Structure formats: C-alpha cells, structure tokens
Structure 1
Amino acid sequence: MKSKFLITGIVSLIFSSLMQAQEKSSNQNWPDRTVLPIEAYQKTGKIEPNIKDSDPIEWPKEISAPEGAPNVLLILIDDVGFGATSTFGGPVPTPNFDALAKNGLQYNRFHTTAVCSPSRASLITGRNHHTAATGIIMEFSTPYPGYNSLVPKSVATIGKILTDNGYGTSWFGKNHNVPDWQSTPAGPFYLWPTGLGFEYFYGFLGADAHQFRPSLIEGTKPIDPYLVDGKVDPDYVLDKDLANHAIKWIQTQKAVSPNKPFFAYYTPGTAHAPHQAPKDWIAKFKGKFDYGFDKQRQMTFEKQKAMGVIPKDAKLAPTPDDYQKWDALSPNMKKVVAREMEVYAAQLAYCDDQIGRIIKSIKDLGELDNTLIIYIMGDNGASAEDPTGQGLTSEIGIMVNGEKDTEEFMLKNLDEFGGPWFQEHYSQSWAHAMNTPYQWDKKIASHLGGTRTGMIISWPKRIKQTGQIRSQYAHITDIVPTILEAANIPSPNSVDGFKQTPMAGKSLVYSFDNATAPETHNTQYYEIIANRGIYKDGWLANTTPRNLPWQGHPIPSEDPMKDYKWELYDLKKDFSQVDNVAAKNPEKLKELQKAFLDEGRKYNVFPLDDRYIDRVNPENRPNLNKGRTSYVYHEGNSRITEGMAPNMKNTSFSITADIVVKAGDEGMIITQGGYFAGLALMLQKGKPTFAYAFSHYPQSKWSIQSPTALTAGKHNITVNFDYAGGGAGKAAKVTLLVDGKEAAKGDILKTVPSRFSADETLDVGEDFGTPVNRSYEVPFTFKGEIEKVTVNLK
C-alpha cells in the first residue's frame, strides 16, 4: 500500500513539475504577436474538488497593446490632387492640414495606386492592390486573382491586426472595398469593415455619397441619419455627422479604457463627386476663381517653389492639348466653371474643418502627444472624369448615362451648384490644376498626376524635427508597416489559421529623424486599366496613356502589352516627370520594362485589361440573380444595391403590386435609384403613379398617373414597361393597369442605359435618399399594406 501511495506521489510530482515547466514556458512566450488571434493567458495552480483546498487563481490575462503604443488617427481624403491644398501650395485653405505639417513632417513624394478601391485596399493591408485582389474598383471586378475583389484570408487588415493586439478599432466614412454582389443587407458580411476586423463601422459602402442624404451603414445595419422624426433634416451634412461619430467613439474609448490605445480610420469621401457643401461655406469662395484654371496652375506652381514644397529646379509639366482651355470658354461658361471650383473648394475646406474638430477632441482628452496622425490628402490625383470640359451637373446622368448639359441650364441654375439637386463635378481642367506640377489625373497610373498626393505625419511624442519636408519615396503600402513599427507590433505570420502574404510596404519610421536617410522602398510597380509604370532606384518607366481620364467607354486595345508606348524619366533630376529620356537610355528602359514584367507576375497584375465602364454589367460577376427573370419583394425589402436588383435597363419588364389601402392612402410601393436616374411605382393622393427619371433635367422626367384614386380595399396595380429595343437607352411605352383594367399610359422618350445610381438602391414601401421627382419627399412611407411586389423581366 505504501509503495502504491509512493508511486502516486511521484507521478503527481512529475506531472506538477511538467505543468509548472509548461506554464513557465507559456508565460515566457506569451504573447506571440506573430500568430493572431492571441489566446488569453492564465496562470494555473492546484485545483481540488473543494475550493478551500485549491490555490487562489489569477484572472486570465487578456492581450493588450505594447507599453507606450500610440493612438492612431489615419485620415484619407478622396480625389484630391497634390496641388489642391494650401499645405502644398494650392488654393484651397486647409488650416488643420497646415497645422499638422507645422507640427509634423510633410512628405512630397508619397504615392497611391491612382484610383480609389485599389488605393484603399493597399492602405489597410500594406500589400499591393493586386495582391489584395483589388486591381480595379469593386463594380468593375473580373474573375482573375488580381481583380476579383475578394480580399484573401492571407491578407489581414490593419483593423484585424490592431484589434487582435489590444487596440480599439473603428472605421468612419467611405469603404468601397466590399464586392459589388455582397453589398446588400443580406450579406455576406465577412468582407465588410466589421468582418475585416474593425470593431466599429459608420459610413457607406459605395464609391461616393450624397452630402445631404447619404445611404449609411452602422456596423451592418442600414441607417438614415438625415431623417429626423420621418422628415429630412435641412441642416444635415455628412462630413459633420462623420466627425461627430468619430469624436463620440474616441471619447467613449478613453472614458471606459483610458490606457487602451485607439485606431480610428477616418475617410469621409470628400472631395469625390458629387461636390456638395453648406451654402455659407460656398459663399466664402465667391469670385475667388474667376481667373480660371490655366492661371491657377501657374500660380500654384510658383507658390510651391516659394514654399519649398517642390525643388527650385522642378519644372511645370505641360497640360496635354486634350484638356479644355480657359480662353476657349464663353463668358457665361466661365461663370459656370468658376462656380464649380468654388463648390469644390468649399467642400474640401469644410471637410478639413471637421477633421480639425476631431483633432481638437483628442487634444482636449490629453491624448494628442501620443497620437500618431497620418493625414493623406488624396487616394489618387484629382478627378478629371468630365467628358465635356465644362464640368457636370450630374456624374451619373452625364458621365455614365450620356445626358448632355447645356450652357443655358447650367447658367440658370448656378445657385443649385453644391446643393442637394445637383451631383456636380468640376471641369477636367480644374482637376489638372489641382494636380500641379504634374501631368494627367486620377486613373492614369503611369503619371504622377494620377499617383502622387500630399501626406503629413504627426506624432508629437516621437517626431521632433517638426515642420520639415521628407522627400524619400513613399507609397500607400508603407502606411500599415509604419503603424506597426510605431506600435511595436510585428507583422503577423498567421491570422485565424491562414498563413499571411508578406507586406510589400516599408515602414517610414526611419525617415522621422533623418531627412537624408536613404529610402527603403526602392521598387514599385503601378497599373490601373492597363496604364502602367515601374519605379526603381529613382527611375520611372511608364506607358503613354491611350485613353483619356474622362473616357468611360474607351476603345480597348487588341493587345495592351504591345499597343502602349513607353516613356522614361530620371526622377532624381526631374522631380515633375517632364523630360522623357527614353530615346537616350534604351537599355535602362528595357531594364525597367523587364522589372515591370517580373513585378507583374509576382503580384497578380496580369492579364491587363483597358476596358472601363464596359465592365460594369452585373452579369460579369457572381450574381444570385443570374438567369432569373422573376423577383418577389415584400414591404421592408430595402437597400438592395443595383448589382443585386433586377436589371430593369434596356429591356421590357412588368411590376405587379398587391396592396391593401384605405381611401386616400399614399406612399412608395417600389423604387430604384433617385432624382438623377430612377423609377418609382407609388400612390400620390391615392392615385397609382409610375415615375421615371433619365436624369435631373426637367424634360428627362416622366410621370404616368391614373386619373382616379383607389377605393378602400385590396387592389392589384401593374406597370407594363415595353422597351423599344434597338440598342441601349432607347424609348419605352408604359401602360398602368389597376385591377386588370388600363388606367393610364404614356411614353418614356429616353431610358437609363448604364446605371441608375452609385449609392441609391431598390426599396419597397419607402424611398431613401433622393426622390425620383420633386412631387413628393422621402421617405414617403407607404400608408397601406403591401402584400407583395413582383418584378418580371421580359
């Protein structure tokens, strides 16, 4: 018996020793920040059936950020060129951007991918955009690995990395990184911000948003903050709302967990079209741009030199002949085009003002000293997506659907510029002026006008050489590595069991204390819509654009690999990419062309594709509706994005609604799109009405209405939309039936050929955003009961 107890005791002792050794080893290795997520660590002891015989146990130790890790405010502004802001010599006053430059470092050789979704994918992952499967914007994705818009599990975001390392994380504003077919309230949500590791999201999923009536998401839930007690708030502005939510979130983080650092990704969507701003801010810029864009470009260039933002020997890149010239405009059009720039300046200045409120709130909390602020002024160069040269009053109507503005209409409606009833976008030549001193614009990845934007980094606790310029090459993939090094967090090798693709970017921390430190990001390829280039050790080889920035339907080349000419620039001597030295350095050009091929194969850049809007057809992507001709909806089925809605363009269709009403009931039955292009079946004062809008022009809106209001009871309303055929955007005949009998009919002279909206959706029983026409106001909630609505495509 004694021997039995002895053996048991020895075994117990050995087991206890092994457990203690394992515990010590676990404690020494914890936390392993290269493998995420990190399991909580708990020191164990003797545990017996009776608590009085058990050792006291410490609470599990949960992961926290490394000691001294900074808060991070990452700001990304949309469609702002290098030469737009006062900070970089431009005409738009951005005092908060200025202040950060004074108290931080100003980077004058920072680069993006040249278009939004790809830049944003690179920014939050630290990888090249094709590695993140985002070689083009989400709506234009194709099945190839670099272009399918399904960010791989091997490419974890900064939100996921920081959340798993003990940060509080958030995302405010624009997303444009959810695949087109996954952006409805039905999900799936694994590629939405909260699915990518960000704990809180308040913003919008698409390319742009209406400043006064945006389609927003909180977490994964659609919300409409511009509606108060069911009515449109006339004082609502998106930029202010986003700032309010960011401030509240930051304050809550520090109120509850003062020692826990926060990460806030703030990306408002300004100054992407539509250009809209509060009236009082627009008034501040009245008459400020009457001299025109050609003079502005020269003025900005001179100021940039005087400020030292660009070298003294830098040259002003010539404006290509394709751009509109100021002196070619009529006196009336000069008034219109000047007004466009006033609105753009107002929107950008107002946005910077709201960002100032966020920074002040951090300062008021006593957190500014240890907050790393990275303020990127532009996810690409300024946008020249204006095919007319005189600007647009509707980006969807003119740029996408082919409507044409007239001088008379624009001049007559000058006061509407910047307001809710215009989707304004400025002249292509204002965009080029905002990209001073470089050539070309957004979408043109081959040239600095498309890729180089302004950036400021501020971190008072760490950066002491403030107010200085840094000219080392920097790329948008460098931001995640910079944040991780600042926080003393390694790039993970494994996340959720998936081996991680190494980051392409390089940390910029090395440049904080040394203006002349050798740059560490020595090679970088560029490619968007087959425009391409390769930077290597100070040289830039790039293609000559075949298609202009404002061409939505360019003629694709037969072979994008062979049909593009190449240029070569020595950027060590030629800051602005002006002097093409390809003819003098053929061997260097060949070397860089080979380097592009190598990088292209490595990062999933191929195959090249120079189609643009022609890729937008939802049939080109995974679609639960493929082959489907009948759709049944019920009340409350709303926020269905265009890619997942029935495609009621360029085809005949019918809408049949079974409803129950009281006499005089009114409201929306079903709608898609809005004021700038859309359709709606509704009751107005009890009368069945079908409304259609080709654009915001009065002559492009039609309404077919029954002369008789419905009686109380159950009714069946049918719209037969008979498309003329013969191509896209042709006419149609509409017949409205009530309980099987013809009630009204009419002609639609022009129909929407390409897109109803970038941000408005299909909604049943209510209308969000803008109304199809101004005979009613949103949300125009249906007063009766909708049993079902059936859409049949013919």
Structure 2
Amino acid sequence: MIHRRKLLLSLLGSSALGSSAMAGSAPRRPMGTRPNIVAIVLDDLGFSDLGCFGGEIRTPNIDRLAARGLRYNRFDTKAVCSPTRASLMTGRNAHTVRMPDVPDVLSVPGGGPYPEGTFHIPAEAQNLAQALRGAGYANWLVGKWHLVPMDQLDDPAKGDAWPLQRGFDRFYGFARGWTDQYRPALVEDDRYISPDLPADYHLSADLVSRSTDMIRGHRASRPEQPFFLYLGLGVAHSPIQVPARYADAYAGTYEKGWDAMRAERFERMKRMGVIPADTNLPQREAGDRAWADLSDDERVVFARHMALYAGFVQHADEQIGRLFETLEATGQAENTIVVLLSDNGPASEAGQAGVFDGLYRPNTLPPSEQRARLAELGAPGNQSQYPRPWAFAGSTPFQRYKLWPHLGGVRAPLIVSWPAVIRDGGAVRSQALDVIDVAPTLLEAAGTAFAGEAGGRTQTPVAGRSFSASFTDPRAPDPRDTQYFELRGSRAIRSGRWRAVATHPCGQPFEDDRWALYDLETDFSESRDVSARHPDVLARLKRLWQEEWSRYSPHPLTQPPARICESLAHYDSH
C-alpha cells in the first residue's frame, strides 16, 4: 500500500506545472466580466447519439449549441457515473478522491469490501463549486449528484458529502444513480421532499424549470454576481420513460435494426467530420446478437425500445432548449460558458434481452408477451432499458460500451460554447482530453483556480489541465500526454499516439491479463490491435500504467468484489 505522504509527494511532482501550465495561451475573457458557467451532464448517452455527433435522434437545441461552440471528439470519461462526476468536480482522478466505482455497489451483498474511506471524497479535494464560491460565484446543483456514500444517504442534513456541504448554495434533484422520471425521489437543499406532482409531470421538465427560475430570480436580485449551474439530467439513464408520442415520432426508424443503424451513423459521422474519413468500423461484439437472427416479436419489441430511447433524448433536448431561451431572454447567453457532456458510454447492463419492466434483474417475459404489452413501455409504472446491442450502435465507431475500458466505454460527446470568446462555432476539436481537465478549464475561464490550501488543509494537487487554449486555437497541444484508466480491474492507458487496453477476467492474476495496443494516430476507433508488431511499445505502456497507478491511487490494485464479478459476467454473456 502506498503511504498517503508518498502519494502526495508523487502528485506534487507530477503537477509541477500547476494550473498556470496553459496561462500563456489561454484565451482572454471579456474585459471586466466573469462568465456564468452552465455544466449540463447527461447520463449514459452514446458518443454518436446526438444529431451534431452523427445520430438520427432529433436534438436541434443541442445541435445549435454545437453550432455556436466546439465539439470535442477525443474526450474521455471514467466509463461509469460516480467516478466521472467526482473527477469532473475535483479535477483529480477518481481513485485519488476515493471514488473508484459507484457507491451503490455497497448496497448489495458481496459488493465489498473496499478500504476504509472509499466513496467519501476527502476534504483535501476542493471541488469546482467550492473554488467558484471563493471567487464570488453563486452555485446551484439541479438534478443528479451521486457522490454520497451509502452511510450518509438517510439524512441530507448530516454528514459532509451532500451538495450544500460541498460548495453549492442550492440543491434540487436526486442523490443516487437513477430515479423514476414520473415519481422521483427528490431532495430540496438538505431534506427529502414528497410533493404532490401533476399528472403530466416529468423530471427533466421539472429540473429545467427549477433551473430557469433560479436564473431569472438571480438576474433580478443579484445581476452583478456570476453563477455556476450544474444541471445533471437523468437522461438517458434507465428507466427510459417519456410520453408515448415521443417514441411514436420514430416509428419506422429503428425497425432496420442496430447493425444497420450503426453503419448509417458511421457514414454520417465521417461526412460531418466528427470522425476522420479513414476511420474503420469494428465488427459487432461476439456476444451481441445480429439483428437478422432475432424473431419477429423481438424485432418489434427491440425497435420500440430504441424509439423510446430516442424520444427520451429528444424530450430532454426540448427542455435544454428552454434553458437556452432563458439565457437569451435575460441577456446572459453571450458571456455564459455552456459545457455539455455525457458521463460515460451508452448503457450495457440490460444484456441481450433488454429490460421490459424492472431494472437490474433478468427479463423473463417471453418476447410475445412483451409485444402484447408494448404500450406499457415508457409509461408511468414501467421501468425499462434497451438491449445491449443498441448501446453498440450508440458507441459508434468504437468497441464496447459503458463499464468497459475500450473507447466505447470511456469516449463521450463534449460540447463547449462561449460566444464571447469562441469564434469558429461548429468546429470539431481533436485535443486528447479527460474529464479531469474540465474543472481546471472552467476555473481558468472564471479567472481563478483550485486552492493549494482550503479549510486549513493542504489540498491534493490537481491532475487535470486547462484546455482553454483550444477555444481559439485548433492546433493547441493536448493538455497532457498521458492518462491512465481503471475500473473493476480492467485497465487502459493513453500515451501520445498509443493506447493500451486490458479487460480483466475476474479472479485471474493481473499479470496474466491480455493487453491490446492501438495506434490512435492511424486508428481512431481502436479497430486494429498492433501489440504483436510493437511489443516494446506495449511493454513501455504497461510500465507507465503502473507508474501512473502508483502516483494517483492510494491503494494497490485488487480483484473486484464477488458481486461485481457476477454482474460483469452477466453483462458480457447474456
């Protein structure tokens, strides 16, 4: 085990450039003003789902955001919710801040053990809201948080992990990984609430209405004070719930199946310039069924699943459009930075049969019965999730999906808009970014940085670097050359043009894991394993992974808990 002092010294050594690393090339912000900041975090959204990233799903408001801003096509996450959100908020790697997985794993038998303190982000990791509060910002969190350890979930007024205890002035949303869109488990500030909800209630609409109310109220009462709004929608995490008319709008779209949709998205992405023209499309995963092999009942049911998903995303886009309208109406759109991203790749947990009604348990309903009850999908009282091969379409043009170390698990759409600064709206940027780079970028734009000391505690150095130079310079360098990854024993590391990946079979000695090597300079989609041709490069990257792990993780690499291993086997074989 690495001693905490050794970890801190290692981090200091790796962070010598600090937050000023890009100072000479950072874009100038408008004189005398500090921008408002809006971070929109979507959930389980595929890299290719949005219209502006090549998807057929209708997202005109997000597309307009991209037209005024920049799309980043090499933005990576931690492949699952809480680690990504912890890194987003702190600018540090998830292991450094004790968030190696979702806290919910401790809620099931066999989900542990983990070292003491796991899932409690330490006070030595100042977050984005805390840093912005120190710079005079008002901070609001609306929507999903999912950074509360299980032993603090009962009472938001106690403990130290809830939003109001972590730099936010207001909180309205939900604490855990998902909630029902029609009957959510809501928290307001520091208490659970059970309001009477109207018959046409939908959580996405409610969250955006709360956000717009906060913006308008703040504009009227404190127009000189900038604000930070963190909007964490539950879309597109299961349960997939939206009024039927949104799914009906996609009738006839998905009946051609996931194989055809993936191919169509791939060609569209190349035409749009979202991916390089010479990108290869990896074959369907061996464990995923071909659309041609499905029964008639399965094709009808599974097409409706995806239509519902598309409608869910389109409905969210409509709500996001209302938020943008409010910024325009209050005269704040020009000098507001909007960052929109997904927390990981598309969801893989529902397996080959999908979930008709009841999340995270096997779907035992015969396809014929599901077809007879098709009108129930997405309605109040129904909780569904599409079959895993639709996630493979969502992760076009990559391999795999959420939870995996391949790019299909970690790569996500990222849009940054700041009309006062960004002049080449609609462009695609290809800097290699990680979610740890977002907070340093936003703080630099706000004219501040993470503190070296806060609350009487020396702060753990920040691993992320600002990429704001790319706002005005398409040739700006990558903020960092190297980024490691680990989730549930699977590992990856990027170093320059190379990326090495190892999917870990539970219980197998880590030294026996098979590593693949990809040359990202010539293989954008990780479609060709070149480890046999470059054994020296692979050996170097494996050593580098261990060095980065030792630098950023306070604990040795251990086998995933038994329950996690069972779930991973289910995800890959069913």
Q: TM-score, normalised by structure 1?
A: 0.65
Match of 1:608 in 2: 558
Match of 2:546 in 1: 597
Task: Map 1:231-242 onto structure 2 (within 5 A).
Answer: 233-242=198-207
Match of 1:448 in 2: 407
Say if 2:113 and 2:561, in contact at 8 Å, map to a contact too.
no
Match of 1:464 in 2: 423
Counterpart check, 1:565 vs 2:565? no
Partners of 2:226 and 2:97 in 1: CA distance: 27
Q: 1:264 aligns with which of 221, 225, 229?
A: 229
Say if 2:45 and 2:344, in contact at 8 Å, map to a contact too.
yes
Match of 1:386 in 2: 350
Shift of 1:616: 11
Counterpart check, 1:433 vs 2:398? no
Say if 2:131 and 2:449, in contact at 8 Å, map to a contact too.
no
Say if 1:189 and 1:220, in contact at 8 Å, map to a contact too.
no
Counterpart check, 1:288 vs 2:253? yes
Shift of 1:279: 2.3
Partners of 2:565 and 2:452 in 1: CA distance: 35
Partners of 1:564 and 1:187 in 2: CA distance: 45
Counterpart check, 1:537 vs 2:487? no
Name the SS of the counterpart of 2:334 in structure 1: helix
Say if 2:157 and 2:191, in contact at 8 Å, map to a contact too.
no
Task: Map 1:73-152 onto structure 2 (within 5 A).
Answer: 73-140=38-105, 142=112, 144=114, 148-152=118-122
Partners of 1:462 and 1:146 in 2: CA distance: 45
Counterpart check, 1:585 vs 2:534? yes
Task: Map 1:682-693 onto structure 2 (within 5 A).
Answer: none
Task: Write the letter of the residue equivalent to 2:73.
Answer: N
Say if 2:71 and 2:427, in contact at 8 Å, map to a contact too.
yes
Task: Write the letter of the residue equivalent to 2:559.
Answer: D
Shift of 1:96: 1.4
Task: Write the letter of the residue equivalent to 2:133.
Answer: T
Task: Map 1:172-211 onto structure 2 (within 5 A).
Answer: 172-185=142-155, 188-211=158-181
Task: Map 1:480-519 onto structure 2 (within 5 A).
Answer: 480-519=439-478
Assess, with a 3 A threshold, how the Cα gap between structure 1 residues 146 and 395 changes in structure 2: closer, same or farther. farther
Partners of 2:272 and 2:251 in 1: CA distance: 26
Name the SS of the counterpart of 1:429 in structure 2: helix
My pick for the range that moved more, 87-96 or 112-121, is: 87-96
- Identity among equivalent positions (%) equals 36
Partners of 1:463 and 1:476 in 2: CA distance: 20
Match of 2:191 in 1: 221
Say if 1:529 and 1:612, in contact at 8 Å, map to a contact too.
no
Assess, with a 3 A threshold, how the Cα gap between structure 1 residues 300 and 147 changes in structure 2: closer, same or farther. farther
Assess, with a 3 A threshold, how the Cα gap between structure 1 residues 302 and 415 changes in structure 2: closer, same or farther. same
Assess, with a 3 A threshold, how the Cα gap between structure 1 residues 66 and 212 changes in structure 2: closer, same or farther. farther
Partners of 2:166 and 2:133 in 1: CA distance: 10
Q: TM-score, normalised by structure 2?
A: 0.90
Deviations 1:545-596 (A, max 9, x none): 54xxxxxxxxx3142x224210101101111111111011111111100111
Partners of 1:139 and 1:346 in 2: CA distance: 28
Match of 1:684 in 2: none
Assess, with a 3 A threshold, how the Cα gap between structure 1 residues 613 and 90 changes in structure 2: closer, same or farther. farther
Shift of 1:421: 2.2
Deviations 1:644-694 (A, max 9, x none): xxxxxxxxxxxxxxxxxxxxxxxxxxxxxxxxxxxxxxxxxxxxxxxxxxx
Partners of 2:98 and 2:173 in 1: CA distance: 22
Assess, with a 3 A threshold, how the Cα gap between structure 1 residues 613 and 214 changes in structure 2: closer, same or farther. farther
Match of 2:325 in 1: 360
Deviations 1:73-127 (A, max 9, x none): 0011000111111111012111111111111111011110000010010011111
Q: Which ranges of structure 1 fall in alignment gaps of 5 or more residues? A: 1-33, 35-64, 547-555, 618-794
Q: 1:337 aligns with which of 302, 322, 326?
A: 302
Counterpart check, 1:477 vs 2:447? no
Task: Map 1:518-529 onto structure 2 (within 5 A).
Answer: 518-529=477-488
Name the SS of the counterpart of 2:38 in structure 1: strand
Match of 2:24 in 1: none
Partners of 1:602 and 1:373 in 2: CA distance: 32
Partners of 1:594 and 1:607 in 2: CA distance: 14
Counterpart check, 1:328 vs 2:298? no
Match of 1:710 in 2: none
Task: Map 1:33-52 onto structure 2 (within 5 A).
Answer: none
Partners of 2:43 and 2:143 in 1: CA distance: 11
Partners of 1:185 and 1:78 in 2: CA distance: 25
Say if 2:156 and 2:162, in contact at 8 Å, map to a contact too.
no
Say if 2:93 and 2:463, in contact at 8 Å, map to a contact too.
yes
Say if 2:438 and 2:464, in contact at 8 Å, map to a contact too.
yes
Match of 1:417 in 2: 377
Name the SS of the counterpart of 1:309 in structure 2: coil
Deviations 1:292-326 (A, max 9, x none): 10100000000000101000111112211101210
Partners of 2:477 and 2:320 in 1: CA distance: 33
Q: 2:127 aligns with which of 143, 157, 163?
A: 157
Shift of 1:391: 1.3
Partners of 1:525 and 1:148 in 2: CA distance: 20
Name the SS of the counterpart of 1:453 in structure 2: coil
Say if 1:133 and 1:146, in contact at 8 Å, map to a contact too.
no
Match of 1:709 in 2: none
Partners of 1:89 and 1:475 in 2: CA distance: 21
Task: Write the letter of the residue equivalent to 1:538.
Answer: R
Say if 1:463 and 1:513, in contact at 8 Å, map to a contact too.
yes
Partners of 1:419 and 1:209 in 2: CA distance: 14
Partners of 1:190 and 1:615 in 2: CA distance: 31
Task: Map 1:570-719 onto structure 2 (within 5 A).
Answer: 570-604=519-553, 606-611=556-561, 613-614=563-564
Say if 1:569 and 1:581, in contact at 8 Å, map to a contact too.
yes
Task: Write the letter of the residue equivalent to 2:123.
Answer: K
Match of 2:26 in 1: none
Assess, with a 3 A threshold, how the Cα gap between structure 1 residues 187 and 252 changes in structure 2: closer, same or farther. closer
Partners of 2:48 and 2:520 in 1: CA distance: 18
Partners of 1:368 and 1:606 in 2: CA distance: 46
Say if 1:146 and 1:603, in contact at 8 Å, map to a contact too.
no
Match of 1:255 in 2: 220
Name the SS of the counterpart of 2:140 in structure 1: strand
Assess, with a 3 A threshold, how the Cα gap between structure 1 residues 431 and 237 changes in structure 2: closer, same or farther. same
Q: More relative contact order in 1 or in 2 (CA 8 Å, sep 6+)?
A: 2
Partners of 1:67 and 1:217 in 2: CA distance: 37
Say if 1:96 and 1:356, in contact at 8 Å, map to a contact too.
yes
Shift of 1:606: 2.8
The structure number with the bigger radius of gyration is: 1
Assess, with a 3 A threshold, how the Cα gap between structure 1 residues 282 and 352 changes in structure 2: closer, same or farther. same
Shift of 1:420: 1.6
Task: Write the letter of the residue equivalent to 1:180.
Answer: M
Task: Write the letter of the residue equivalent to 1:593.
Answer: K
Assess, with a 3 A threshold, how the Cα gap between structure 1 residues 146 and 375 changes in structure 2: closer, same or farther. farther
Counterpart check, 1:351 vs 2:316? yes
Assess, with a 3 A threshold, how the Cα gap between structure 1 residues 157 and 313 changes in structure 2: closer, same or farther. same
Task: Write the letter of the residue equivalent to 2:432.
Answer: Y
Partners of 2:254 and 2:492 in 1: CA distance: 34
Name the SS of the counterpart of 1:575 in structure 2: coil
Partners of 2:117 and 2:500 in 1: CA distance: 23
